[in-house]
Structure 1
Amino acid sequence: MIKLLKTILGKYSSFIKFALVGVTNTVISLTIYWLLLKINVNYLVSSTLAYIAGIFNGYILSSKYVFNKTKNILNAVKFFSTYLSSLLINLCLLYIMVNTFKIDKAIAQLPVVIINMVYNYIINKVWTFK
């Protein structure tokens, strides 16, 4: 059983670490998003500001703990490009969920975060920190 657990942890360690960083970013981002909604900031502006906070946190943690890469300008540009494209996906999906499907703006962000997590992991793994 312990050997199986070690094998699983070894094989999927970068994804597990990425998920833990993602959970941290999600908590930070959703907290900022919900707090901004509480003070009546537009939901798309709230999402953008929250996402930007997560990008900075994510780069520091991902480069150091997930992909074990030293921080350099090329990786930073790739990382921020990845997350800016992810932000556009986030805003488009959020807009569709709120305006087309009439999902509450506080709840609509949750499935969008999951979609973006998968997208971000794949792009970071194969391009940013390759």
Structure 2
Amino acid sequence: MSSNGRSRKALAIQFMKFNAVGLLNTAIDMILYTLLVWLGVHFAIAQVLSYGAGMANSYVLNSKFTFGGTGTSSASDKSGSLRMGARFVVWNGVILAVSILFLTLMTKLAGMNELYAKLIATAVTVAINFYGSKRWVFAGARAN
């Protein structure tokens, strides 16, 4: 197999891992969001809280499983890990803002149910999140 074919296969496997982790993150996010909305919490606040819970899970699993850190703990690794963590928070803040924008547009302007709007917003942000995670957040990590 050519190196181009191997790199496409590695990218496809990495994307599948990202989506497997994403399914778990989404389950955490959706369950908590649904519970909070059911309890009467405003959808934007519910989104921040539920997304934050999924985001914490995402960082741990994607940094270890999807984009594969080396597992060493030298001072330079710790510094790189802090940078990666900061980029993760910033990037996920952007994704959160995009999802809240979509939720607002769909619920307030289109009159859509909050849960259906959440499903659409989640579908839209998956590809954007993978691209940014791969190209910026975890760019220095060793791919498995």
**Scaled by the length of structure 1, what TM-score is found?**
0.90
- The change in CA–CA distance for 1:88 and 1:68 in structure 2 (over 3 A counts) is same
What pairs with 1:52-91 in structure 2 (closer than 5 Å)? 52-70=52-70, 72-91=81-100
Note the C-alpha offset of 1:10. Answer: 4.0
Listed one character per residue, the Cα deviations across residues 26-59 of structure 1 (whole Å, up to 9, x for unaligned) are 0000000000011111111111100011111100
Note the C-alpha offset of 1:23. Answer: 0.4
- The change in CA–CA distance for 1:35 and 1:101 in structure 2 (over 3 A counts) is same
Q: 2: CA distance between counterparts of 1:46 and 1:80?
A: 18
Q: 1: CA distance between counterparts of 2:20 and 2:90?
A: 21
Note the C-alpha offset of 1:25. Answer: 0.4
Q: Larger relative CO (CA 8 A, sep 6+): 1 or 2?
A: 2
Q: When the two structures are aligned, how many residues end up with a matched partner? A: 125
- Counterpart of 1:94, as a letter, is L
Q: 2: CA distance between counterparts of 1:19 and 1:106?
A: 21
Aligned-pair Cα RMSD in Å: 1.8
1:124 to 133, 137, 140: 133
Residue 24 of structure 2 aligns to a residue whose secondary structure is helix
Residue 127 of structure 1 aligns to a residue whose secondary structure is helix
Give the equivalent residue in structure 1 for 2:121: 112
Q: 1: CA distance between counterparts of 2:97 and 2:106?
A: 14
Q: Does 1:41 align with 2:41?
A: yes
Note the C-alpha offset of 1:11. Answer: 4.5
**Scaled by the length of structure 2, what TM-score is found?**
0.82
Q: In terms of Rg, which structure is larger?
A: 2
Q: 1: CA distance between counterparts of 2:27 and 2:45?
A: 18
